Chain A
Amino acid sequence: MATEAKRVTDIGPPHFEKFLHPMIKENFGKWKYHESLAPGVLAHTGPAGTIFSVRMSSARLVSSNFLRMVCDLADKYADGYFRFTSRNNVEFLLANKDNIEPLKKEITDKGFLVGGTNNAISNVVHTQGWVHCHSAATDASGLVKVVMDELAEYFTSEKLPAKLRVAVACCLNMCGAVHASDIAILGLHRTPPRIDNKTLPNLCEIPTTVASCPNNAIRPTSIEGKTTVKVDEDKCMYCGNCFTVCPAMPLADPLNDGVSIWVGGKISNARSEPMFTKLAVPYIPNNPPRWPEVTSTVKQIVEVYAANAKPFERVGEWINRIGWPKFFDLTGIEFTKYHLDDFRHAGTTYRRSVQNRY
């Protein structure tokens, strides 16, 4: 292993100041207001002047070629300055207003979209999926692609009642903020882990594996003199926590793995407090490459929301106003026993009033 004397560690990230456009540096901490000039175009003004941000779609999973293209566009139109948003969009930072339209044109000519601001569907926060993850129950990049193909008009316009945040996570680990999005697509396993008794004794620590199960479904056992584990299948809820600590307990099951759809979460404190997403559709089988059942259901939810919500009402706020029974009515989504919570705080979700709408 290379251990030359000059090896340095713990230097941390570079200071951000050298990446800031001069206009941003001058207005740092002194911004007065912002305006929305068009979908995907924001203008922030401070005492030193205005910086224009042009927001471009990105697949998040990108290549050197894509990034070199971004760099070239930044050099041509934005003095070399750009940033990424917390939802994986690219933002070019322009001091010259006249560059906005040529930049937008070049972005669209190259096959990318400008948008994602205000009452739009912004980019999708998502995870690795089959592209790179060991525990994925579905593909994330593919789902994002097909869902956003369907919803692209809501990225490039601001015609929704409020902003709408979509997230995709490929298993219950939810590396992608699925638990607090307006609409979330969550990959899930539906069958217990299959135990590889040959490799488990060497690969896994028995006490850690047993302790990893939130439902106490895993017990130590002995097979041919070697300690391994067994799973009480009635207690297993397919969370995959055991697989994370013990790779000899894979859950992947092509026949049963699939996707669930969740709605009504939000993160910001605007108007109502942050809310968790709630179950809308418990299971849709994986149907790659374009998951048509998923895209049509998501589109249906978006369209019903767009037609029924009041201005500036997020999906969760809209559902709270009209009630969940009406949500299922309006969207045509079937309500099943799987919608009834039976985990830790289940009772808090049961209706304890007679405030029904007839």
Chain B
Amino acid sequence: MADELKTPLLDELEKGPWPSFVTDIKSMAETKEMPRDLLRQLEKSYEDKRGYWKHGGLVGVMGYGGGVIGRYSALPEEFPGVSHFHTVRVNQPSGWFYTSDAMREIIDIWDAHGSGLYNMHGSTGDMVLLGTRTEELEPTFQALTEKGWDLGGSGSDLRTPSNCVGPARCENACYDTMEMAYQLTHNYQDELHRPMFNYKFKIKMSGCPNDCTASIARSDMAVIGIWKDDIKVDKEEFAKYIDDGFNVKEFVVEKCPTQCISVEGKEISIDNSNCVKCMHCINRMPKALSVGDEKGFAINIGAKAPIVEGALFAQSIIPFMQIKDGDYAGLYDLIERIWEFWDEHGMARERIGEFIERVSLATFLEGVGLEPLPTMVKAPRDNPYIFYEEYFADEDAGEGEE
């Protein structure tokens, strides 16, 4: 601990206008050994152009199969401060809203039990507390739960659901993403903490098709806000945009993917029956245009990154659904039907998107009890290899219909 911290390569990353993680970690290294040896090991990685971490698989807090990622230095003698460097995932509050008081409680806990380093936040949405020793895991967990925090997911379980700001700070929110994330997370604590699936399952909630949580690319179940009725127009505000010289023709009318907007003078008319709710016009003219009144959400399923069978965007399965009077039973029922069918017929390490590709969408829909809809496809099939399930038997052939 006494030897001088020499990191000439990393020092190069203290230059330039973007915030430097090296400067920040160095500030912690003044008082703690873990960030100090992290920098020393990282300097070696920069010299040698390779990482020096071993993946652990067994560490965790008692009774939980998720929330802790085991990590050990491959060079523990050289860098004893990071011989253990486990990650603790802490379930973030909906929309990543904090107060300074609550955040300071977390900082105090992590200063006492860990490295004092974090990712704010991880890709799934959790607060990621980076780096602690095995024997500190249980005390960290107990300190967190005392202050009302719990761990997130990891492994073959439900990962921490995450959501956009939604109704907390956005006029486009078509459903309460904040409350839904809270409800789902609490309803599925068992699935979050005790891995029981074939593989991970991520749920992300975005309040409108702008999809600020990237749910359609990054979650096994994307819940995306949508409305069914007409885009609302504030005529006076629309006229003001025109008066202010806003180029509505080039920036809005010509950008509409279904050409359903026309503008005459200071009047806009929208063919709402042909609108695909892409959000572009509303994004451009937030004071004049807004989402309709009949609001709810669509559900797409099966997004993932390429490993293993190639990247997938989430596939449409529910074009419109609503939560009425805070009753989530219908949504829970759908989620559980999906999990059950995937559990029963999926393979180990097979994400649900890959599962649907393997068994076919038709089989999946039948398995979870959903009807096929034209909204689920870009186009019907273009090959004739149809597996017909119904045949006329010979003796019935001449009899015609009943």
Q: Answer whether A and B touch in the complex at a CB cut-off of 8 Å.
A: yes
A193 located at the interface, meaning its Cβ lies under 8 Å from any Cβ of chain B in the complex = no
Please name all residues of chain B whose beta carbon is closer than 8 Å to the beta carbon of A312 when the two chains form the complex. 251, 255, 280, 284
A113 located at the interface, meaning its Cβ lies under 8 Å from any Cβ of chain B in the complex = yes
Query: Which of A9, A51, A276, A343 makes the CB contact (< 8 A) with B63?
Result: A9
CB-CB nearest in chain A for B347:
A211
B351 located at the interface, meaning its Cβ lies under 8 Å from any Cβ of chain A in the complex = no
Query: Which of A19, A65, A127, A270 makes the CB contact (< 8 A) with B102?
Result: A19
Please name all residues of chain A whose beta carbon is closer than 8 Å to the beta carbon of B102 when the two chains form the complex. 14, 18-19
* Nearest CB in chain B: distance from A285 CB, A: 8
Cβ B19 vs Cβ A58 within 8 A: yes
Give A125 to B213 CA distance when docked, in angstroms. Answer: 11
Which residues of A122-136 have CB atoms within 8 Å of chain B's CB atoms? 125, 127-136
Give A109 to B288 CA distance when docked, in angstroms. Answer: 37
Which residues of B306-327 have CB atoms within 8 Å of chain A's CB atoms? 306-311, 313
A229 located at the interface, meaning its Cβ lies under 8 Å from any Cβ of chain B in the complex = no
Cβ B93 vs Cβ A14 within 8 A: yes
Cβ A44 vs Cβ B170 within 8 A: yes
Give A61 to B94 CA distance when docked, in angstroms. Answer: 21
CB-CB nearest in chain B for A13:
B91
Give A349 to B121 CA distance when docked, in angstroms. Answer: 35
Please name all residues of chain A whose beta carbon is closer than 8 Å to the beta carbon of B335 when the two chains form the complex. none
Please name all residues of chain A whose beta carbon is closer than 8 Å to the beta carbon of B13 when the two chains form the complex. 142, 145-146, 289-290
Query: Which of B93, B167, B257 makes the CB contact (< 8 A) with A31?
Result: B167
Please name all residues of chain B whose beta carbon is closer than 8 Å to the beta carbon of A267 when the two chains form the complex. 211, 214, 216-217
A117 located at the interface, meaning its Cβ lies under 8 Å from any Cβ of chain B in the complex = no
Cβ B171 vs Cβ A67 within 8 A: no
* Nearest CB in chain B: distance from A149 CB, A: 3
Please name all residues of chain B whose beta carbon is closer than 8 Å to the beta carbon of A65 when the two chains form the complex. 24, 27-28, 116
Cβ A149 vs Cβ B16 within 8 A: yes
A152 located at the interface, meaning its Cβ lies under 8 Å from any Cβ of chain B in the complex = yes
* Nearest CB in chain B: distance from A196 CB, A: 12
Give A70 to B210 CA distance when docked, in angstroms. Answer: 28
Please name all residues of chain A whose beta carbon is closer than 8 Å to the beta carbon of B283 when the two chains form the complex. 270
Residue among B19, B27, B139, B255 facing the most chain A CB atoms (10 A cut-off): B19
CB-CB nearest in chain A for B287:
A33
B345 located at the interface, meaning its Cβ lies under 8 Å from any Cβ of chain A in the complex = no
Q: Between A and B, how many residue pairs show CB distances below 8 Å?
A: 346
Cβ B307 vs Cβ A63 within 8 A: no
**Contact string, B156-195, partner A, CB cutoff 8 A, digits 1/0?**
0000001011011111010010100010011001100100
B130 located at the interface, meaning its Cβ lies under 8 Å from any Cβ of chain A in the complex = yes
B150 located at the interface, meaning its Cβ lies under 8 Å from any Cβ of chain A in the complex = yes
- Known contacts being A13-B91, A63-B35, A289-B46, is A31 close to B185, with CB within 8 Å? no
Cβ B19 vs Cβ A131 within 8 A: no
**Contact string, B53-71, partner A, CB cutoff 8 A, digits 1/0?**
1110000001110000001
B209 located at the interface, meaning its Cβ lies under 8 Å from any Cβ of chain A in the complex = yes
Please name all residues of chain A whose beta carbon is closer than 8 Å to the beta carbon of B6 when the two chains form the complex. none
Give A15 to B321 CA distance when docked, in angstroms. Answer: 24
Give A29 to B93 CA distance when docked, in angstroms. Answer: 18
Please name all residues of chain B whose beta carbon is closer than 8 Å to the beta carbon of A71 when the two chains form the complex. 100, 103-104, 107
CB-CB nearest in chain B for A149:
B16
Query: Which of A152, A155, A179, A253 makes the CB contact (< 8 A) with B217?
Result: A179
Cβ A288 vs Cβ B49 within 8 A: yes
B15 located at the interface, meaning its Cβ lies under 8 Å from any Cβ of chain A in the complex = yes
Residues in B lying within 8 Å of A, measured CB to CB? 9-10, 12-13, 15-22, 24-25, 27-28, 35, 38, 42, 45-46, 48-55, 62-64, 71, 85, 87, 91-104, 107, 110-111, 116-121, 123, 130-131, 138-139, 142, 145, 148-150, 162, 164-165, 167-171, 173, 176, 178, 182, 185-186, 189-190, 193, 209-214, 216-218, 250-251, 255-257, 276-280, 283-284, 286-287, 290, 305-311, 313, 348-349
Beyond contacts A59-B20, A63-B25: 6 other A-B pairs, Cβ-Cβ < 8 A, are: A63-B24, A63-B28, A67-B107, A68-B104, A267-B214, A276-B311
CB-based closest 4 A-B pairs: A149-B16, A71-B100, A174-B305, A269-B209
Residues in A lying within 8 Å of B, measured CB to CB? 1-3, 7-16, 18-20, 24, 28-29, 31-35, 44, 46, 51, 53, 57-68, 70-72, 74-75, 80-86, 88, 90, 93, 111-113, 125, 127-136, 139, 141-142, 144-146, 148-149, 152, 155, 169, 172-180, 208, 211-212, 214, 239-241, 245, 247, 252-254, 257, 265, 267-272, 274, 276, 286, 288-290, 311-312, 343-345
- 25 A-B pairs (CB sep. < 8 Å): A1-B138, A9-B63, A12-B150, A13-B93, A14-B93, A15-B182, A20-B97, A28-B167, A29-B167, A33-B290, A59-B20, A60-B121, A61-B117, A62-B21, A65-B27, A67-B107, A71-B103, A131-B21, A131-B38, A133-B53, A180-B218, A211-B348, A241-B308, A247-B54, A290-B12
